[in-house]
């Protein structure tokens, strides 16, 4: 029997607007441990939804586990600057959802890295809207290619965790459209996600889930979105306003919401047309689902195949921040002294709904043990025993659940004499610095979180002193969810490998990067400032109220469009590591730039040549500097990028990229128009936002204006 809006009773249609009511994990009857379901009504089955975005998260219970692959966190996926690879990750996640009977995946997270301390930054991609949009579009295409729906979240301006359920984000329309809405606009137009999740926060005074301007005018009328908008779990305070605004599905919903909506219809506060509009969208979502199509879940996802995808993604997301005197790669047989508890308690992901439950996890110590490096076992056993003693025997199970575990352990548990002894009998030191973060709380600008603890600093100083005295190198591995302070200690070490939260294959990938089987090709999707106080949002507590005790009710996006590199460039603030930065074991040269403009598009082509000693991939980045026109502009903005294929020494690749002229526009809020000023534009092609290798020009003859 074909079900449509006309075959359902009013009550059934209203029931479709509210999910099955419960909070947290375990809200699904069919897949207990999934995050929620819609209601089965009038011949339509319930469809199941579950979290991401670092992998499919189905919470285990005492009777059953749903092992899934723990992929690198989204910030690391963005560090690959490789949409094809991210699409493969999305496909693998989609397959795992499909195989466990899940219809809609609650990912990707697409908020902006406005501030390095946002607790969920790891779930998001970048400080840049284009990179976020393109990587997210690839992710969504991958998930949906197997018939599972993706959900772009959290729409919008939910860029911090403090008071997230009530905070009112005050942001001007230009910044909103150019920075925060832009990634969602890109995915709606390029990847057509089945669903969008509205966020918890208010936007300029109104909950996003109750905001008709956002959910109907911008999302549907301007961009043409034709899927379902669902609320975040428990968002907003008025279900009637939610449905009126175009928030079709209220999650996790509950009978109480159904009754409130029914009463509103009876009282005439909510029209049957409004119910029909949203119910029709939910019906379409259900009809697209695998469950509706009668798919039987196998319950046997191809985890071994997906482990390879997780490995590849991590391999391309590692960022080499420093490599003085070619400390890396290490030769096979190098004797390695591994310092820091992070070798044991390696953080594979973040906490909260973005958490994962893989079948296996390889920490840094085990990864190095399985490599051609010779780990100093006596030294590592000191850390293994120390972690066991401090965390208890079951630490490996408990780890990743509790906020308490985010607290770093004491790191300088060795005497200077002991370190000196380890320096004598090894060739190189590797120090692991680990952090995690999670949903529900922001990171803090304190020692042990954004800053090193005193004991971490003492460890780095001691190890550097002892190893450098013998002419031996020191490598730091940063196993972190988002930037930490590096400027005051990076001179003490010779090499820094940023491995983010790299997922289940962590140790294997890191070992391969250390020995050069993997040549790091990740680039920063987000700036590392010299200090968190350099972040434009840190200028006043009003602009980033990260202190829950203050119970802030508003956050003002004081910096407007000047987020990330847009700010550091414009205001001449030197970052520790700029947007787009990352080294390689080899070197690349850029040659033969041509820029050709037709009416609507600009074609940018150039050669990249590997002039170094190792095979490697380069991330080419194209920034555009606009002329001085009617609108105030950043110094430059990322407009295109492409990662090369693996180039052998001496090999070249011609990169050809296209920029739409309309994508050069800025938003003039008072006139309600996008404007591309006439004048001469500079094309800046480089290896990072501050390492521009080639420049060219094109001219826009006449100012272009268009409506959103
Ligand atoms: C999170 C969402 C998540 C939902 C369901 C909320 O607390 O903000 O990202 O999808 O829970 O678990």
For ligand 1, atom 7, name the residue with the nearest CA: 233
Cα-Cα end-to-end distance for the chain? 41
Instruction: Work out the pLDDT band at 23, boundaries 50, 70, 90.
Output: low
Q: For the chain, give the mean pLDDT.
A: 95
- Residue 63 has a pLDDT of 80
* Residue 671 burial (10 A CB sphere; 0-12, 13-18, 19+): exposed
Distances (CA, A) of 5 to 15, 224, 230, 281, 289: 13, 21, 19, 10, 17
Q: 403: cis peptide before it, omega within 30°?
A: no
Q: Where are the beta strands (DSSP E) in 351-493?
A: 374-375, 428-434, 473-479
Q: Which residues line ligand 1 (CB under 6 A)?
A: 35, 51, 106, 153, 232-233, 353
For ligand 1, atom 6, name the residue with the nearest CA: 233
Find the helix or strand (DSSP H, E) in which 589 lies: strand 588-597
| pLDDT exceeds 70 at position 404 | no
| pLDDT exceeds 80 at position 407 | no
213: CA distance to ligand 1 center in Å?
23
Ligand 1: nearest atom to the Cα of 106? 10
Closest CA to 233 of 251, 256, 221, 248: 251
Integer Cα distance of 657 and 640 in angstroms: 7
| Edge-to-edge order in the sheet of strand 335-339 | 319-323, 495-498, 473-479, 428-434, 335-339, 374-375
**pLDDT tens figures, 637-682:** 999 999 999 999 999 999 999 999 999 999 999 999 999 999 999 9
239: CA distance to ligand 1 center in Å?
18
Integer Cα distance of 684 and 693 in angstroms: 7
535: CA distance to ligand 1 center in Å?
27
Give me the mean pLDDT over the 580-607 stretch.
98
| pLDDT exceeds 50 at position 403 | no
353: CA distance to ligand 1 center in Å?
6
For ligand 1, atom 2, name the residue with the nearest CA: 232
Among 33, 51, 195, say which to mutate for ligand 1: greatest number of ligand atoms within 8 Å of CB.
Answer: 51
539: CA distance to ligand 1 center in Å?
30
**pLDDT tens figures, 255-298:** 999 999 999 999 999 999 999 999 999 999 999 999 999 999 99
Instruction: Work out the pLDDT band at 406, boundaries 50, 70, 90.
Output: low
Measured from the Cβ of residue 686, the count of other Cβ atoms closer than 10 Å reads 19
Question: Tokens 């979105």 map to which residue?
Answer: 225
For ligand 1, atom 11, name the residue with the nearest CA: 233
Q: 329: cis peptide before it, omega within 30°?
A: yes
**pLDDT tens figures, 131-142:** 999 999 999 999
| pLDDT exceeds 90 at position 302 | yes
274: CA distance to ligand 1 center in Å?
26
| pLDDT exceeds 70 at position 402 | no
- Residue 276 has a pLDDT of 98
For ligand 1, atom 4, name the residue with the nearest CA: 233
Ligand 1: nearest atom to the Cα of 199? 8
Beta bridge mates, 602: 597, 659
For ligand 1, atom 8, name the residue with the nearest CA: 232
Integer Cα distance of 155 and 163 in angstroms: 16
**pLDDT tens figures, 303-354:** 999 999 999 999 999 999 999 999 999 999 999 999 999 999 899 999 888 8
Integer Cα distance of 496 and 492 in angstroms: 11
HEC string of 134-203?
HHHHHHHHHHHCCCCEEEEEEECCCCCCCCCCCCEEECCHHHHHHHHHHHHHHHHHHCCCCEEEECCCEE
- Give 402's Cβ-side CA count (13 Å radius): 10
Ligand 1: nearest atom to the Cα of 440? 7
Instruction: Work out the pLDDT band at 2, boundaries 50, 70, 90.
Output: confident
- Residue 400 has a pLDDT of 46
Question: Tokens 């697409």 map to which residue?
Answer: 110
Distances (CA, A) of 640 to 46, 191, 634, 643, 655: 41, 17, 16, 11, 11
Find the helix or strand (DSSP H, E) in which 337 lies: strand 335-339
Beta bridge mates, 88: none
Ligand 1: nearest atom to the Cα of 51? 10
Ligand 1: nearest atom to the Cα of 49? 5
Q: What are the residues whose beta carbons fall under 8 Å from the beta carbon of 630, sequence distance 6 or more?
A: 668, 675, 677, 703
Helix axes 129-144, 182-190, angle to 10 degrees: 30
| pLDDT exceeds 70 at position 85 | yes
Please say whether the dihedral angle defined by the alpha carbons of residues 350, 151, 113 and 245, taken in this order, is positive or negative. negative
For ligand 1, atom 3, name the residue with the nearest CA: 353
Catalytic residue from among 51, 103, 232, 442: 232
Collapse the DSSP code of 368 into the 3-class scheme (helix H, G, I; strand E, B; otherwise coil) and give the result: helix
- Residue 183 has a pLDDT of 98
Ligand 1: nearest atom to the Cα of 24? 12
Distances (CA, A) of 116 to 119, 523, 538: 8, 16, 10
Collapse the DSSP code of 253 into the 3-class scheme (helix H, G, I; strand E, B; otherwise coil) and give the result: coil
Give me the mean pLDDT over the 5-30 stretch.
86
233: CA distance to ligand 1 center in Å?
6
- Tell me, yes or no, if 663 is annotated catalytic: no
- Residue 25 has a pLDDT of 60
- Give 561's Cβ-side CA count (13 Å radius): 23
Q: Tokens at residue 38, please? A: 């819609």
Measured from the Cβ of residue 572, the count of other Cβ atoms closer than 10 Å reads 7
Among 106, 160, 193, 356, say which to mutate for ligand 1: greatest number of ligand atoms within 8 Å of CB.
Answer: 106
Integer Cα distance of 172 and 558 in angstroms: 9
Q: What are the residues whose beta carbons fall under 8 Å from the beta carbon of 543, sequence distance 6 or more?
A: 536, 537, 555, 556, 557, 558, 559
Give me the mean pLDDT over the 551-569 stretch.
96
């Amino acid at each position: 029997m074909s079900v449509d809006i006309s075959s359902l009773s009013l009550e059934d249609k209203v029931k479709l607007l509210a999910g099955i009511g419960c909070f947290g994990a375990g809200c699904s009857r069919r897949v207990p441990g999934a995050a929620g379901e819609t209601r089965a009504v009038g011949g339509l089955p319930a469809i199941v939804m579950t979290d991401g975005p670092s992998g499919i998260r189905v919470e285990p219970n005492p009777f059953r586990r749903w092992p899934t692959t723990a992929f690198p966190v989204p910030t690391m996926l963005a560090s690959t600057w490789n949409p094809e690879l991210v699409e493969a990750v999305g496909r693998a996640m989609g397959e795992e959802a499909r195989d466990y009977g899940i219809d809609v995946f609650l990912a990707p997270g697409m908020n902006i890295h406005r501030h390095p301390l946002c607790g969920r930054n790891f779930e998001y991609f970048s400080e840049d809207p284009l990179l976020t949009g393109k990587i997210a579009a690839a992710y969504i295409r991958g998930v949906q290619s197997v018939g599972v729906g993706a959900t772009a979240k959290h729409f919008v301006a939910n860029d911090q965790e403090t008071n997230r359920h009530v905070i009112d984000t005050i942001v001007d329309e230009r910044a909103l459209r150019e920075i925060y809405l832009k990634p969602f606009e890109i995915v709606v137009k390029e990847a057509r996600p089945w669903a969008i999740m509205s966020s918890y926060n208010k936007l300029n005074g109104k909950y996003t889930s109750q905001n008709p301007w956002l959910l109907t005018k911008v999302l549907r009328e301007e961009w043409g979105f034709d899927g379902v908008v669902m609320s975040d779990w428990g968002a907003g305070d008025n279900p009637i306003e939610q449905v009126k605004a175009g928030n079709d599905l209220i999650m996790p919903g509950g009978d109480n919401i159904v009754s409130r909506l029914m009463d509103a219809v009876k009282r005439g506060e909510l029209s049957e047309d409004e119910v029909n509009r949203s119910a029709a969208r939910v019906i379409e979502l259900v009809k697209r689902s695998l469950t509706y199509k009668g798919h039987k879940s196998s319950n046997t996802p191809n985890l071994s195949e997906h482990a390879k995808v997780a490995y590849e993604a991590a391999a391309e997301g590692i960022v080499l921040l420093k490599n003085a005197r070619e400390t890396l790669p290490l030769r096979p047989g190098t004797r390695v002294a591994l310092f820091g508890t992070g070798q044991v308690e390696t953080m594979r992901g973040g906490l909260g709904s973005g958490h994962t439950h893989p079948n296996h996890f390889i920490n840094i110590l085990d990864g190095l043990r399985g490599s051609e490096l010779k780990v100093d076992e006596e030294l590592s056993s000191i850390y293994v025993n120390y972690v066991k003693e401090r965390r208890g025997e079951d630490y490996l199970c408990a780890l990743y659940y509790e906020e308490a575990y985010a607290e770093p352990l004491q790191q300088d548990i060795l005497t200077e004499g002991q370190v000196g002894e380890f320096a004598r009998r090894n060739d190189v030191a590797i120090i692991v610095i680990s952090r995690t973060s999670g949903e529900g709380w922001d990171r803090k600008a304190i020692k042990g979180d954004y800053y090193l603890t005193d004991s971490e600093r003492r460890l780095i100083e001691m190890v550097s002193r002892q190893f450098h005295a013998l002419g031996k190198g020191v490598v730091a591995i940063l196993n972190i969810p988002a930037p930490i302070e590096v400027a005051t200690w990076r001179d003490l070490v010779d090499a820094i490998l940023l491995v983010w939260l790299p997922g289940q294959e962590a140790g294997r990938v890191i070992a391969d990067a250390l020995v050069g089987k993997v040549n790091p090709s990740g680039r920063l999707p987000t700036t590392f400032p010299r200090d968190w106080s350099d972040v434009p949002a840190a200028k006043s507590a009003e602009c980033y109220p990260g202190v829950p005790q203050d119970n802030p009710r508003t956050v003002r996006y004081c910096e407007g469009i000047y987020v990330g590199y847009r700010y550091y460039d414009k205001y001449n603030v030197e970052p520790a590591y700029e947007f787009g930065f990352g080294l390689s074991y080899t070197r690349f040269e850029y040659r033969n730039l041509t820029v050709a403009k037709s009416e609507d598009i600009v074609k940018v082509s150039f050669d990249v040549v590997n002039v170094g000693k190792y095979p490697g991939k380069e991330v080419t980045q194209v920034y555009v500097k606009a002329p001085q026109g009617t609108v105030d502009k950043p110094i430059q903005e990322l407009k295109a990028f492409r990662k090369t294929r693996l180039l052998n020494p001496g090999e070249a690749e011609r990169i050809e990229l296209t920029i739409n002229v309309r994508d050069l526009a800025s938003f003039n809020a008072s006139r309600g128009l996008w404007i591309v000023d006439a004048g001469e534009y500079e094309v800046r092609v480089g290896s990072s936002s501050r390492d521009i290798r080639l420049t060219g020009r094109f001219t826009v003859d006449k100012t272009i204006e268009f409506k959103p």
